[in-house]
Amino acid sequence: MKTIIEWDEWVFLFLNGLGHESMDGIWLILTEKWTSIPLYIVLLVLIQLKFGWKRTGLFLVFAVLMITISDQTSNISKDYFQRLRPCDTELIDQMRFIAKRCGKFGFFSAHASSTFALAIFIGVLLKPHYRWILPVLISWSLVISYSRIYIGVHYPTDLIIGSLVGLLLGLFTYFAWKKSDEILFGSKKTFS
């Protein structure tokens, strides 16, 4: 376990140290949850165009439930493991900390979990119609995850575990949405 923690700190310091003052403003904007809203509006329009209003409404119900589960699972994990964030440890003197605040516990990242859950759910849903969508959304999630290291509030393992939780949650939500769609709307459509 000590080796994993040492690796985590070393990788964190390396990635965090890649930052530069000239880029700080961009990363502070990217890490804000509200920054993704225009992207999600565009994705919602694409979903509505492909699936209609009823199925889009069903999508929204599942997306809200998924994000709620993601956030609450992260909060439970943070309270259980009580792993301090890098900005709240002795690393503070060796790192770049540019976030507005530190927060208390960081394992696992709700940002990573939620963005990956949405990326997988939406990406798998729209992939038959837009082949490029899944790689773009995964790339976006990776950028958001890296922003958490850049500003100094998460270790890499916080993000890796958050991403894996999000991936599983996104897949589960997609299949639950698909099954609910079949039951509610009588559709056996393969969504392609």
Nearest by Cα to 122 from 191, 75, 25, 26: 191
Domain 2-185 has CATH 3.30.420: no
The dihedral through the CA atoms of 6, 8, 14, 19 has a sign that is negative
CA nearest to 115, candidates 135, 149, 145, 146: 145
Please write the tens of the pLDDT for every residue from 135-158. Answer: 999 999 999 999 999 999 999 999
Q: Kindly report, residue by residue over 100-113, the tens digit of the pLDDT.
A: 999 899 999 999 99
Which of the four pLDDT bands, split at 50, 70 and 90, describes residue 33? Answer: confident
Give the pLDDT of residue 133.
97
pTM: 0.92
pLDDT at 189 over 70: no
* Domain extent listing, the chain: 2-185
